[in-house]
Amino acid sequence: MVSALAGEGTTPGKTDSSGKSWLDYDTVNGGYELQYFTPAYYSLNRLVKIFEVDYDALDSDFEIGETYIDTMGLGYATVENTGTTDLKLNEVLVSDNVRDYAVNFTLESEDEAIAPGESRYVWFDSTEMTRPQFNLGDGYSIKMQMSLADSSSSYKFDGESVSATVKEPDFISIGIAKTESYIEYTGGRYNAYLTLQNLGDVPMKINALEIGNQYYNQSEVRALLGRDLMIAPDSIEEIELLDLDLDMATDFTEDAFVSMYTVRGPSVQTIISQSTTGYSIGLTPKILAELPEAMYRFDQGTYEVIDAIYRDIYVNYDTDSYLLDNGALILTIENAGEDMFALQNIVAANTLISDYEIQNESGIFVDPTLGENYQLLFVDPGETRIIRAVIPEVDLNIPKLIGLTASIDGNTISRNSAYFVPRSATEKVSIVNETHAQSFVFTDEVVRLTLKNIGFDPITLDEVILNGTETISLNASMVLNGSLTLAPDDIAIVEFGITSFAVNLTNSLDVRVNIAEAPTGFNTATIDAILPSLDTVFGINPPGTANDYSHQLKDTYADSSEGWISVVIEVENEQMLTIDSVIFSYTGLAGNYQYLSLSSGFVTLQDVVGFDITGGAAEATLISLYYLEIRTTSLGLTLTVGQPVYIKLRTTAGYEATVSITVRP
């Protein structure tokens, strides 16, 4: 028998349709494990054998199509059921052409079997594999194991993709469709109906959702939905989160911030209002956005641009709906629901405004409480209205929460809200100077400003006036981002040096920016000073550290009998500094310091002419030390034994260091 299987002489051995020898297949008790046939009857002498054919297995097949792994670790593949039976995905392996690695995966609509002819996305995170992260250009292939969705079948089969290489990340973007999303109060609890959007080219897995004061992690979202949540590219996912405990007022006076977080991808936040099923107020624009200046936010704790959650809650430049800095509001709305409603109140922060006008068919704004104008209050599905009102307490470029409610028979049934960014009706520039804005002056006398066109027409940045005395004419070489010509909502970051005065860390500057188009289009702000960097460039060795360095000649001390203060300064490698000020205090409190004259001859650097201090080369192993000597008696300063004195050193670049010294006898 063995010779018949293996072949003998010129007689070939038994092979399958792919040329694989029968001897290469495993056997159990001398019998082959068959994929499509199940023994149904063996005669006594085993000459007659009857097998049951598993036609479902014969009719099952799948194909792995597009594959993707990027340098950030995100991965996906598309799989198509090319057979005639429903399939279930059991396993995903990533091969680096050396070995296979199992990965956790999420199948699109994983709670449903893959039907014949259907194609699905399979998402995975390649950084979870037990191998180093893939690099650009690395080769790989994707392997999958399927089984029949019919749980009575044990048939399993494999497939593999063609080889591919790791690439740079594709475009990724997500959103929450505001008009199609709402929160409904159901008598003690809330239901949230959300339409989540994948606006990019890569499937995204949802890591968490946050609704108002409630945060739902991945496992909690899975428990609420009965599945993991993954959204295919350029598609939406409509979800219902029921019986939620949200901290919201039940009278349509509050909204909820709703945030969506993805695995190894972006996050987004929008503002969702309360509504009753069947009713929906649609704002125009339908898609809110982040503030244009948000992408330039700056963290002074790290000196890096802040990568924060994207907040799609603002109405920026728009000609259909807008708020002017004089309080004039134009609001374009649509009945995006299934039933008619009546317009009710405009809500500005906590102020209800019922006194507004609606544009009639002739394009004239009229009072809806007069005569037949009341019919304009009733809006059928698909109809639009343009509303005009005056909003109190509005400041240019400071977002203002504006909401609109609708009612039926006097009962509020829907609300929609957004943060409107007040604009100027005429050409206007704004100096963006809120928290984290890149508007400040460095202590090495360099000014950086974030400027925004907050009007409706293009503007040209012209000049900057500092403290009312120094005028800087702007040119293209001063632009770090953007340009000098700004369309509405465009941002420019400009940077330039100043020469007429020095800047210390406690200083601030009054800034005025003019534009070329209109003399009234200027804007003013007061900006604060910050250091050029967070680097530690020099320091003062406190008293009692004379043994810290083998080459240190003396300690930091204050001696009453000598009338002398010695300060040991250490300078980091590759630093070149000039001491600009030596400041003395008995208390160390702000306002109680006095500047010591550097030209008096009583404040000197030992063995140094002038006040330049320089660090060693990059590879230097010994830190550079300098010794500042202050003749206190000659300067008219009194040193009292046992009492502290404070010395502050400041360099021309604005870096400072302070030391407290207790006077010795």
Give me the pLDDT at residue 308, please. Answer: 78
**pLDDT of res. 27:** 52
How does the average pLDDT of the chain come out, rounded? 91
Q: What's the average model confidence in pLDDT over 594-604?
A: 94
Distances (CA, A) of 276 to 11, 339, 418, 473: 80, 11, 19, 56
DSSP letters along 345-394, please? EEEETTEEE---EEE-TTS-EE-TTSGGGGGGGEE-TT-EEEEEEE-SS-
pLDDT at 153 (0 to 100): 76
Whether the pLDDT of residue 377 is over 50: the answer is yes
Question: CA 423: distance to chain centroid?
Answer: 25
Q: Rounded distance, CA 627 to CA 649, Å?
A: 12
What beta strand segments (E) does 371-458 contain? 378-379, 384-390, 400-408, 411-420, 429-431, 440-442, 446-453
Whether 28 has a pLDDT exceeding 50, the answer reads no
The closest of 450, 429, 169, 419 to 295, measured between CA atoms, is 450
**Could you check whether 317-420 and 538-662 share the same CATH topology?**
yes
**Residue 276 pLDDT:** 94
Domain 538-662 has CATH 1.10.10: no
Q: Model confidence over 267-312: pLDDT tens digits?
A: 999 999 999 999 999 999 888 899 999 999 999 889 998 887 888 9
Question: How many other CB atoms are found less than 10 A from the CB of residue 107?
Answer: 19
For the structural domain made of 429-530, what CATH number should be given?
2.60.40.10
- Indicate the fold that domain 174-274 takes in CATH: Immunoglobulin-like (2.60.40)
Domain positions in the chain are 2-57, 60-165, 174-274, 317-420, 429-530, 538-662
- What does the pLDDT read at residue 324? 96
Residue 607 confidence (pLDDT) above 80: yes
Q: Which two tokens stand for residue 623?
A: 């830190």
Contact status, residue 339 vs residue 378, Cβ threshold 8 Å: no
Cα separation, 27 vs 17, whole angstroms: 18
CATH tag, 60-165: 2.60.40
pTM for the complete prediction? 0.79
Give the pLDDT score at 32. Answer: 54
Residue 571's alpha-carbon distances to 538, 574, 575, 616, in angstroms, are 4, 9, 7, 8
The pLDDT value given to residue 548: 83
Q: What is the mean pLDDT of residues 8-13?
A: 66
Across 459-466, average pLDDT: 97
Share of the chain above pLDDT 70, in %: 93
Encode pLDDT of 179-231 as tens digits: 899 999 988 899 999 999 999 999 999 999 999 988 999 999 999 898 899 99
DSSP states of 92-106: EEEE-SS-EEE--EE
Could you report the per-residue pLDDT of 521-580, keeping only the tens digit for each?
Answer: 999 999 999 999 888 899 999 999 887 888 999 999 999 999 999 999 999 999 999 999
Cα 65 from chain centre: 32
pLDDT recorded at residue 391 = 96
CATH T-level topology, domain 317-420 = Immunoglobulin-like (2.60.40)
Cβ proximity of 145 and 156 under 8 Å: yes
